[in-house]
Amino acid sequence: MLKNYFKIAIAVLRRRKFFTFISLFGISFTLTILMVLTAFMDNIINPTYPDMKRDRSLYIGRVELRNTKEGWINSSSSSFYFLTHYAGSMKRPVKMAISSGSSSSNAYVNNKKIVVGIKYTNADFWEVADFDFLEGKPYTKPQVDQGQRVAVICQSTKRDYFGDEYDVVGQYIEVDNIKYRVIGVVKDAPLSSESYHANMYVPYTLSKSDYKSTGHQGDFGAVVLAKSTDDIEKIQKDYDQIVNRIPTNSKEMDKLYSNADTHFRTIVRNVFGSGPESGFTRFLLFISGAIFLFMLLPTINLVNINITRIMERSSEIGVRKAFGASSKTLIYQFIVENIILTVIGGVFGVIFSVITLQLINESGLIDGLHLTLNFTILFYGFLTCLLFGLISGVYPAWRMSKLNVVRALKAQ
């Protein structure tokens, strides 16, 4: 039976090449977009270089001050003092990597300007992150405390600044007219790893901003590393309790919010949340709505194409019914045919996805980003295909199965 359905499905696909092209294009294009988006999501959620301990890391970013009566909000990154004084008072974390946002500075090589993003970090930064050191080593706590002008640069900065030189450790890099001694070279961190992405890393004690300021807001963020994943929730509770006790230090502001979130939740909070709102519900609604709309258009398109295709086959439906096919059997047949179509579209989708991911990785569009097509994504991709096949096949199949036999036979 299935073999017969398969033969028919393939024959129908070959018969109307334009319809087939539109259907397959719709399925494979939608799937490609979904797969690429999922690969991005996968990159955000799962541990990726150099954020390899993402599953037991919590991220402290913004400090939000509010005047609840007037509705004023002042939201900014944390100060170094805020992180060391309050977040640093927690007992449970193993380490805390503190780093500033990446600030753009200029370096010149042969009169050519190179923009270098500098991150000012503490020494624990190198223990929390898992950077691959291609040359040299990270700076130590004493070097940080002494404010030594040392730097760890990334591979692309080495290439841009020093060219093809083999070993640059011990050499100097001049950025914004300040010379730093290079003590290490690391593999580039991707832009998607905001806490770690930069072109050059130097001790926070060299920061141009006032890292000694006791205000709550500044230019820093922290990655808090828990001993195990079991500690994550406990650390979050500890941190919430600490934050509840922190005074706003401002007459105008009466509320202070700061959160220790997982990596994914941090991104969600930054985009959809505010103050006490994590933004997760809004995120889920947004994503569900977006996926629904994104899937709806190709599905409606497929439903229409399927109805046209099926109605062209009225005579066949009439014959099948006359010779003993029940409505249920016919619905089954057309759904199977549609699933065959969507699986073929799915295979093309996977091929296009691999090509697209390869192109994105090679284009260098996003610094250091390396997207991969993993088996989980592949599985969900095929699941999406089957769902597509079902959704877009059920209604046309049901309509077709209700066709009057005599009218169907006359249709030829």
Partner 1 sequence: MIQLKNIEKVYRTSTVETLALNSISLDIAKGEFLSIMGPSGCGKSTLLNIMGLLDTPSKGSITIDNQGTEHMKDKALAGFRNKKLGFIFQSYHLINDLSVLDNVELPLLYRDSTAKERRQLATEALEKVGLANRMKHFPNQLSGGQKQRVAIARAIVGRPEIILADEPTGNLDSAMGNEIMDILMQLNEKDGTTIVMVTHDENMAHKTHRLVRLFDGSQVQ
**Distance separating alpha carbons of residues 143 and 401, to the nearest angstrom:** 78
Q: How far is the CB of 383 from partner 1 (least distance, A)?
A: 29
Q: Identify which of 337, 341, 332, 326 has the alpha carbon closest to the alpha carbon of residue 403.
A: 326
Q: Give the list of residues 6+ apart from residue 211 with CB closer than 8 angstroms, or none.
A: 79, 80, 81, 120, 204, 205, 218, 220
- Provide the β-strand partners of residue 62: 77
Torsions phi, psi for 109 (to 5 deg)? -130, 120
Q: How far is the CB of 344 from partner 1 (least distance, A)?
A: 16
Q: What angle do CA 202, 205, 209 make, to 5 degrees?
A: 95
The contact set with partner 1 (CB under 8 A) reads 1, 3-4, 7-8, 11-12, 15, 315-316, 318-329, 404-406, 409, 412
Whichever of 75 and 329 has its CB closer to partner 1, that residue is 329
Q: Give the list of residues 6+ apart from residue 37 with CB closer than 8 angstroms, or none.
A: none
Whichever of 1 and 293 has its CB closer to partner 1, that residue is 1
Whichever of 197 and 321 has its CB closer to partner 1, that residue is 321
Q: How far is the CB of 337 from partner 1 (least distance, A)?
A: 11
Whichever of 322 and 359 has its CB closer to partner 1, that residue is 322
Whichever of 13 and 235 has its CB closer to partner 1, that residue is 13
Q: How far is the CB of 348 from partner 1 (least distance, A)?
A: 22
First to last CA, the chain: 24
Q: How far is the CB of 404 from partner 1 (least distance, A)?
A: 8
Q: How far is the CB of 3 from partner 1 (least distance, A)?
A: 7
Q: Identify which of 108, 10, 24, 104 has the alpha carbon closest to the alpha carbon of residue 305.
A: 24
Q: How far is the CB of 28 from partner 1 (least distance, A)?
A: 24
Whichever of 93 and 396 has its CB closer to partner 1, that residue is 396
> How far from the centroid of its chain's Cα atoms is residue 273's Cα?
17
Give the CA distances from residue 178 to residues 104, 112, 151, 174, in Å, rounded to whole numbers and listed in that order: 14, 17, 11, 5
Whichever of 2 and 293 has its CB closer to partner 1, that residue is 2
